[in-house]
Amino acid sequence: MHFLDQAKIFIRSGHGGAGAVSFRREKFIEYGGPDGGDGGKGGDIVFEAIAGLNTLIDFRYTQHFRAQRGNGGSGSNRTGAGGDDLVIRVPVGTQVLSDDREHVLADFTAPGQRVVLLRGGDGGKGNAAFKSSTNRAPRQHGKGFPGEEMWVWLRLKLLADVGLVGLPNAGKSTFINLVTNAKAKVGDYAFTTLRPQLGVVSHKGREFVLADIPGLVEGMGEGAGIGDRFLGHIERCRVLLHLVDAHGEDPVEAWQTVRTELARYGAGLEDKPEVIALNKCDLLDDELTTAIGDELRAASHALVLPLSGATGQGLEAVLDRLVEALGPAPDTGNSAAAAHGPDGGDADEDRPWSPL
């Protein structure tokens, strides 16, 4: 299945049905009055979030959605049938934006959530509604009210507990393959990951969802690399896991680059609790690993955990830290930031560094 996280669609609710012009014509009733019924209401445009979807690919091939119009009224004061509502099913995490993308019209965060975005037009009145003492045989009727229409953008923001960030080739795909059943592509070149990946991590009786996005580079807001469009998928994450390549040219600068781009993007990403893992430590000796870890700890004012995504060394400590940062349970109201110090650093930053 192809991944698509943005789509533009046209939606229109149903028009109301016209009222009827009819007169009562029955045997032995000399002066039959008007008995035209009202028109039926047009169908609504309803959005519903359902579980099991993680792409908007269906909206690439079907882009116009029109609800059914109401039927016209008829004689004997019979109201026309209302048009059926059109239910548009979207993945959980989808936002419906206005055509200019300036306003969020609906935000779906739970399965089964339904929003009536456009209401169908009301049906027109039949001629029976216009009769009076001075107008006993009215022939006017309502034509029905038109439905609403608009272009909207659908934007999918995957729901995950932990967001995985880092420069290209920091080992994010290897890590998510190690701790989940995801099958992310791994290669020895930049931007192996071209679309977000989701996986479920099970650790010590706790499960949480991990999201991996394409690597970040300096200037991504101006379109460098793959750009910043995929950062929306970690806006809803409660914790960020920042992987830093210990075998890179300057791990401290790599960490600072990602932090700078997160701050430029905004949406509160720079304020989220962060767990830093120094990856690929298996390629270095203990002395060099300790030195790099100390430098990164001094720059970030946070605990830095050594890790090897290839061998799994240090994995238990990283997962323990993530579970600790996530807190007991989402519905307890406890903030995951409680594990962090008042300056945004880690409350355990005085914990001594230990190599693998």
Write out the H or E segment, with its range, that includes residue 304: strand 304-306
Binding site residue list for Mg(2+): 173, 193
Given this model, what pLDDT does residue 219 score? Answer: 58
What are the pLDDT digits (tens) for 335-349? 333 333 334 444 444
Q: Which of 142, 83, 92, 137 is nearest to 114 (CA)?
A: 92
Mean pLDDT of the chain: 81
- For residue 326, the number of C-alpha atoms closer than 13 Å in the C-beta half-sphere is 24
Express each pLDDT in 241-268 by its tens digit.
Answer: 888 888 778 888 888 888 888 888 777 8
- Token digits for 334? 């406890």
What does the alpha-carbon distance between residue 217 and residue 68 come to, in Å, rounded to a whole number?
48
CA 200 – CA 339 distance, rounded (Å): 23
pLDDT tens by residue, 46-103:
999 998 787 888 898 899 999 999 999 999 999 999 999 999 999 888 999 999 988 9
How high is the pLDDT of residue 339?
A: 36
Residue positions forming the annotated binding site = 166-173, 191-195, 212-215, 279-282, 308-310
Domains of the chain in start order, with CATH, are 1-156 (2.70.210.12), 162-339 (3.40.50.300)
User: Strand 206-212 and strand 114-118: pairing?
Assistant: unpaired
Q: What is the pTM of this model?
A: 0.69
The annotated binding site for GTP is made up of 166-173, 191-195, 212-215, 279-282, 308-310
pLDDT band at residue 356 using 50, 70 and 90 as cut-offs? very low
Helix (H) or strand (E) holding 117, with range, is strand 114-118
Q: Go through 168-187 and write b for each residue having 16 or more CB atoms within 10 A of its CB, e for each that does not.
A: bbbbbbbbbbbbbebebeee
